[in-house]
């Protein structure tokens, strides 16, 4: 259970924190920031069960209070893919003149809103009820409805998909009505657990085709993990064929715009970098340290390919683009 309070008023924050603790939330589960910029950093990197956002907050420590700063923050969190939307959000203000407009703004996103009156208890009841619901939800939350453990998107049918289908996993083709893409399925057993794996190939090279393939995999099979086989340019000596590469961060190399400087054109890049999910990074780090299992997996494929598949697990920055290097 993680709670984030975004408020620059220390007195109000203390009263809200006390109310949350009275509702059953541990003090160690509360986080507090005073600016919109600090909140953006937290909400891009972590998932929160409950977030309380003050309407009038400064953008940064050196900024004046923006009377719509909290509303702008909430709008970005709910509309931009770089954020993790919280399970529950509550808007808060102690300014009476901001109540009506703020209530309308927050309601557009289905977000609860309270007027903080330190002499009353209405705000306290709303916040504590939301906290109790979040506690119950975390205690009884069902497992994610994944239908597949792993989906593999291959850069092309030849050679990537051909190599996957020839790995000895007994693949079968999945017929999907009104779908011209070909999908393949197999089931693996490892340490008394069965795992469903799906695979498909992009019809052509490029980020657009890969994006469509990934979306189709997610739509049809809801995989827990999505991986891709293909070619990645790297620094000679730092990687080998067969290595697993986890991108951290990842960005689109082609983002930006072209401008004219006199008689010449110049490209101004504008990358938006996405960090590796913390949970997935934990799995990747564990695999990097488990050299025994990786050596065992490499030896299972036969002498002809064992050297290639004696793989490393690498983590590093990766850019993708619509053209090849």
User: What is the tens place of the pLDDT at every residue in 3-54?
Assistant: 999 999 999 999 999 999 999 999 989 999 999 999 999 998 888 999 999 9
Q: In the chain, how many H helices and how many E strands?
A: 10, 16
CATH topology of domain 143-231: Rossmann fold (3.40.50)
pLDDT digits (tens, 9 = 90+) for 102-155: 899 888 888 889 999 988 888 999 999 999 998 888 777 565 678 899 999 998
Q: Inform me whether the pLDDT recorded for 292 exceeds 70.
A: no
pTM exceeds cut of 0.75: no
Quick check: do 3-140 and 143-231 share a fold? yes
Tell me the three state secondary structure of residue 130. helix
- Phi and psi angles of residue 80, each rounded to the nearest 5 degrees, phi first: -105, 135
Task: Give the mean pLDDT of the chain.
Answer: 86
Buried-state track 75-102, b at ≥16 Cβ within 10 A, e below 16 = eebeeeeebeebbbbbbbbbeeebbeeb
* Class at the top of the CATH hierarchy for domain 3-140: alpha beta
- Alpha helix locations (H) across 87-151? 99-107, 122-140
Give domain limits for the chain.
3-140, 143-231, 235-325
pLDDT at 304: 42
Cα–Cα distance for residue pair 159/202, rounded to 1 Å: 12
């Amino acid at each position: 259970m993680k709670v984030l309070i975004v408020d620059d008023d220390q007195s109000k924050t203390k009263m809200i924190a006390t109310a949350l603790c009275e509702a059953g939330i541990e003090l160690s589960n509360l986080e507090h920031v005073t600016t919109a910029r600090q909140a953006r950093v937290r909400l891009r990197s972590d998932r929160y069960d409950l977030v309380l956002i003050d309407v009038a907050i400064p953008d940064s420590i050196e900024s004046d209070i923006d009377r719509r700063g909290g509303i702008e923050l909430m709008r970005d969190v709910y509309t931009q893919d770089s954020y993790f939307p919280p399970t529950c959000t509550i808007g808060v203000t102690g300014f009476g003149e901001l109540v009506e407009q703020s209530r309308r703004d927050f309601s557009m996103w289905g977000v609860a809103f309270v007027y903080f009156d330190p002499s009353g208890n209405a705000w306290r009841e709303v916040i504590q009820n939301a906290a109790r619901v979040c506690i119950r939800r975390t205690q009884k939350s069902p497992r994610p409805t994944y239908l597949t453990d792993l989906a593999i998107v291959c850069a092309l049918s030849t050679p990537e998909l051909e190599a996957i289908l020839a790995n000895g996993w007994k693949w079968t083709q999945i017929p999907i009505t009104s779908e011209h893409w070909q999908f393949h399925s197999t089931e693996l057993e490892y340490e008394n657990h069965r795992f469903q794996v799906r695979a498909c190939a992009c019809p052509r090279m490029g980020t657009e085709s890969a994006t469509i393939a990934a979306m189709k995999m997610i739509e049809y099979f809801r995989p827990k993990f999505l991986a891709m086989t293909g070619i990645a340019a790297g620094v000679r000596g730092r990687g080998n064929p067969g290595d697993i590469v986890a991108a951290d961060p990842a960005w689109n190399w082609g983002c930006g715009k072209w401008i004219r400087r006199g008689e010449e054109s110049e490209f101004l890049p504008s990358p938006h970098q996405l960090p590796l999910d913390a949970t997935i990074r934990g799995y990747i780090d564990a695999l990097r340290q488990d050299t025994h299992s990786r050596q065992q997996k490499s030896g299972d494929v036969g002498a002809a390919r064992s050297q290639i598949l004696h793989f490393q697990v690498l983590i590093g920055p990766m850019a993708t683009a619509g053209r090849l290097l």
